[in-house]
C-alpha cells in the first residue's frame, strides 16, 4: 500500500506517469491502473486520516460481485478414490464434473487444485496405484515368540505382510522362517485371503524371492518364478535401498507392528497356529478402521474398488516346488539317492529338475522331457521304457520268471543254473546278461550239450556264463561228471561265482 500512497502523492504534486513509474520502480500501466482505481473510489491526495492500509485496499480492490451461478467445488476425496480405478483419468473426472456444473472451473484449475489437495493429504505420496494392479509383500522386522510346551524353548516366528496398492487392504500371518517354502506358501494364502490375484507383486530383495538383486534385471528364484507363472502375475522386485518403491508395505508393516503385534505383546503362544489365529482375529478390525485423511476404511475401499479389479484365482492352488540342476548319467538322474529315467538322448547334458511332494519333472531348455511319481526309497530306479534306447528296451522286457521258463525248454539243469545265477546277485537284473548269454550258447552248441554243460557247472559251482562257455569250448560237457564232494572231504563254502571248490579242477 505504501507504493500506492506514493503514486497518489506524486500525482498530486504534478508528476507525469512516466516520472512516477521511474521513481516507484513500477510499470506505467500499473501507475495508470492505481490512478484509475483511486478516481473510481473517490480518493485523492491527501488521504483521509482515518483511512488505514487495510481500508485503502478494500476501497481500491473491492471483492468481485457474486454471480448468479455458484461454481461447484469438487469432492477431492472422491476424485482421489476414483483415480485408482483402471482407466480413470483426471480429464474424465473433470468432464464428469463439468457435466454436473457447466459453469464450473476449467481443466487446468481442476488439476492444480487436486494435486495441491493430494500433496496436503499425504506429504510423502509419490505413487498412484490402480485398483488390482499391485500387491506389496515383505516381512516385518520384529518377530513373535512362541514357547515350546515340552522344553520351554522360545522360537521366534516371522511376520509376513501383504498390502494391496489401491485400497491398502492388509494381510498378515506368521511363518517359522523366511525360507523359500514359507515365503511361497504365504503368497498362496494371501491370494486366497484376497480372493483374487493382482497384476504385479512387488517384493523386497530377500534371497527366497530374488537370487541376485539388480537395478534393471533382478534374477528371480526359479520356484518364485514358477509361482508367478501359476498365478499369472508379474514379479517386479523393489530396487535395493529404495524403500519408496514399496512404501505401501513399509507403512503396512508399521501398522501391523503397532496395531497388531503391540496388542499381542503380553500374550504367550505355544504354537504357530495359535499366533496365526490371533493375527487373523485382529485383521478384520484393522481393515475396518477408518482412514485418518480419507473417507472410508480399507475394507470399504477393497470391496468397492479393489476386489472387482482382481483377477480370479486359478482352479488349483500352487503346489510348492523346489528346483535343482542335475546332469544326466547313462539314462538316469539322481534325486535324493533315487534314480529317475530321462530320454537317453540327453546323456551327459544338464537338466533342471522340479520337485513337488508327489512328482519329479525334468526340463531341458525349458521343455519338459520327463515326469515321474516321486519315490522316497533310496537306491531304487524309476524307469519309463520309452526313455531307453531300443536295445535296452528289449533287455528290460526280460524278467527272472521269463528267463527261467525259457531255460526250462533246454532242461532242468539249465533252469536251475539260471535260478542260482539270479539268486547269487544283489539284484536279479545284474544276472540278466549272464543268463541270456548262457541261453544263447544253445544256438551254437545245441540244447543237449548246453544242458550237460549246465549240469557240470552246477556240480563244480561255476555259476557264470564264462564257466559254461569254458566247459563247452573244452568239451568237458562230454566227459563224465566228477564225484560229488562230501562234507567229510571239504568244509562247505559259501556260494559265490569265484569259489568253485576242488571239484572244478577234476
Task: Provide the domain limits for residue 471.
Answer: 398-505
211 and 246 within one domain: yes
Helix (H/G/I), strand (E/B), else coil: 156: strand
Kindly state the helix (H) or strand (E) to which residue 370 belongs, with its residue range. strand 367-373
| Long-range contacts (CB closer than 8 Å, 24 or more residues apart) made by 283-292 | 283/170, 283/171, 283/172, 286/170, 286/255, 286/256, 286/259, 286/260, 287/169, 287/170, 289/259
Same structural domain, 80 and 24: no
- Hey, what's the cell of 10? 506524486
In angstroms, the CA 422 to CA 402 distance is 12
Q: Does residue 382 form part of some domain? A: yes
pLDDT tens by residue, the chain, 506 residues: 677 787 887 888 788 888 888 887 888 888 888 888 888 878 777 877 777 777 777 777 777 555 444 577 888 888 887 777 766 788 888 888 888 888 888 888 888 888 888 777 654 444 567 888 888 888 888 899 999 888 889 999 999 999 998 888 999 999 999 888 899 999 999 999 999 999 988 887 666 556 554 444 455 778 888 888 899 988 888 765 555 555 666 777 888 888 888 888 888 999 999 999 999 999 999 998 888 777 888 899 899 888 998 999 999 888 888 888 888 876 688 888 888 888 888 888 899 998 887 889 999 988 899 999 988 888 788 888 777 776 555 555 667 888 888 889 999 999 999 999 888 876 666 677 788 889 889 999 999 999 999 999 999 888 889 999 999 999 998 888 876 555 444 444 455 555 555 555 55
The total of other beta-carbon atoms located within 10 Å of residue 437's CB is 14
Question: Does 406 lie in the same domain as 333?
Answer: no
Q: Which of 271, 382, 371 is nearest to 321 (CA)?
A: 371
- Work out how many domains the chain is built from and give that number: 5
CA-CA distance, 234 to 198, in Å (whole number)? 9
- At residue 36, the 3 state secondary structure works out as helix
71: cell is 461454481
Q: State residue 503's pLDDT score.
A: 55
User: What CATH number corresponds to the domain at position 179?
Assistant: 3.30.420.10
Same domain, 166 and 43: no
18 located within any domain: yes
Domain assignment present for 283: yes
Unique residue bearing C-alpha cell 498412484: 128
**145 and 97 share a domain?**
no
Decide which of 339, 371, 389 is a domain's last residue. 389
Residues 187 and 250 in one domain: yes
70 within domain boundaries: no
Q: Is residue 237 part of a domain?
A: yes
> Is 128 among the domain residues?
no
The answer to whether position 342 is within a domain reads: yes
Mutual orientation of helices 447-460 and 432-445 as an angle, nearest 10°? Answer: 130
pLDDT of res. 216:
40
As a whole number of angstroms, the distance between CA 364 and CA 346 comes to 9
CA distance to 290, 355, 380, 406, 455, per residue, from 295 (Å): 7, 48, 64, 87, 98
DSSP 8-class letter at 158: E
The kind and range of the H/E element at 338 are strand 338-341
Q: Do 236 and 110 share a structural domain?
A: no
Same domain flag for 209 and 242: yes
Amino acid at each position: 500500500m505504501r507504493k500506492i500512497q506514493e503514486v497518489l502523492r506524486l500525482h498530486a504534486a504534478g508528476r507525469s506517469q512516466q516520472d512516477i513509474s521511474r521513481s516507484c520502480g513500477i510499470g506505467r500501466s500499473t501507475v495508470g491502473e492505481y490512478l484509475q482505481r483511486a478516481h473510481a473510489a473517490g480518493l485523492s491526495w491527501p488521504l483521509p486520516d482515518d483511512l488505514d492500509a487495510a481500508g485503502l485496499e478494500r476501497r481500491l480492490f473491492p471483492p468481485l460481485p457474486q454471480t448468479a451461478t455458484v461454481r461447484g467445488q469438487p469432492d477431492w476425496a472422491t476424485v482421489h478414490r476414483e483415480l485408482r480405478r483402471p482407466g480413470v483419468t483426471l480429464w474424465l473426472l473433470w468432464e464428469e464434473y463439468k457435466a454436473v456444473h457447466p459453469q464450473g472451473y476449467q481443466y487446468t484449475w481442476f488439476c492444480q487444485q487436486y494435486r495441491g489437495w493430494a500433496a496436503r493429504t499425504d506429504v510423502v505420496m509419490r505413487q498412484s496405484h490402480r485398483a488390482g494392479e499391485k500387491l506389496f509383500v515383505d516381512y516385518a522386522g520384529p518377530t513373535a515368540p512362541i514357547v515350546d510346551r515340552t522344553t520351554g524353548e522360545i522360537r521366534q516366528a516371522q511376520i509376513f505382510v501383504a498390502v494391496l496398492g489401491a485400497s491398502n487392504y492388509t494381510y498378515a500371518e506368521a511363518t517359522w522362517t523366511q525360507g523359500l517354502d514359507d515365503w511361497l506358501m504365504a503368497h498362496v494364502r494371501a491370494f486366497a485371503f484376497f480372493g483374487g490375484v493382482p497384476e504385479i507383486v512387488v517384493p523386497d530383495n530377500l534371497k527366497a524371492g530374488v537370487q541376485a538383486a539388480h537395478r534393471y534385471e533382478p534374477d528371480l528364484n526359479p520356484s518364485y518364478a514358477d509361482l508367478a507363472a501359476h498365478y499369472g502375475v508379474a514379479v517386479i522386485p523393489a530396487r535395493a535401498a529404495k524403500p519408496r518403491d514399496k512404501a505401501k508395505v513399509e507403512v503396512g508393516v508399521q501398522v501391523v507392528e503397532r496395531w497388531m503385534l503391540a496388542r499381542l505383546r503380553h500374550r504367550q503362544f505355544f504354537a504357530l497356529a495359535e499366533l496365526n489365529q490371533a493375527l487373523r482375529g485382529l485383521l478384520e478390525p484393522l481393515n475396518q478402521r477408518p482412514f485418518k485423511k480419507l473417507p472410508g476404511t480399507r475394507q470399504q475401499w477393497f470391496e468397492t474398488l479393489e476386489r472387482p479389479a482382481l483377477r480370479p484365482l486359478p482352479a488349483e492352488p500352487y503346489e510348492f516346488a523346489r528346483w535343482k540342476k542335475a546332469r544326466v548319467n547313462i539314462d538316469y538322474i539322481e534325486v535324493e539317492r533315487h534314480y529317475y529315467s530321462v530320454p537317453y538322448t540327453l546323456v551327459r547334458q544338464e537338466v533342471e529338475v522340479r520337485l513337488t511332494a508327489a512328482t519329479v519333472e525334468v526340463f531341458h531348455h525349458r521343455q519338459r522331457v520327463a515326469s515321474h511319481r516321486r519315490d522316497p526309497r533310496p537306491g531304487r530306479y524309476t524307469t519309463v521304457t520309452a526313455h531307453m534306447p531300443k536295445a535296452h528296451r528289449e533287455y528290460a522286457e526280460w524278467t527272472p520268471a521269463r528267463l527261467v521258463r525259457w531255460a526250462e525248454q533246454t532242461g532242468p539243469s539249465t533252469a536251475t543254473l539260471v535260478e542260482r545265477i539270479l539268486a547269487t546277485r544283489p539284484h536279479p537284473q545284474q544276472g540278466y546278461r549272464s543268463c541270456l548269454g548262457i541261453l544263447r550258447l544253445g544256438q551254437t552248441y545245441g540244447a543237449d550239450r548246453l544242458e550237460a554243460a549246465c549240469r557240470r557247472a552246477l556240480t563244480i559251482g561255476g555259476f557264470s556264463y564264462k564257466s559254461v562257455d569254458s566247459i563247452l569250448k573244452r568239451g568237458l560237457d562230454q566227459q563224465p561228471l566228477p564225484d560229488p564232494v562230501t562234507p567229510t572231504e571239504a568244509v562247505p563254502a559259501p556260494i559265490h561265482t569265484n569259489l568253485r571248490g576242488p571239484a572244478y579242477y577234476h
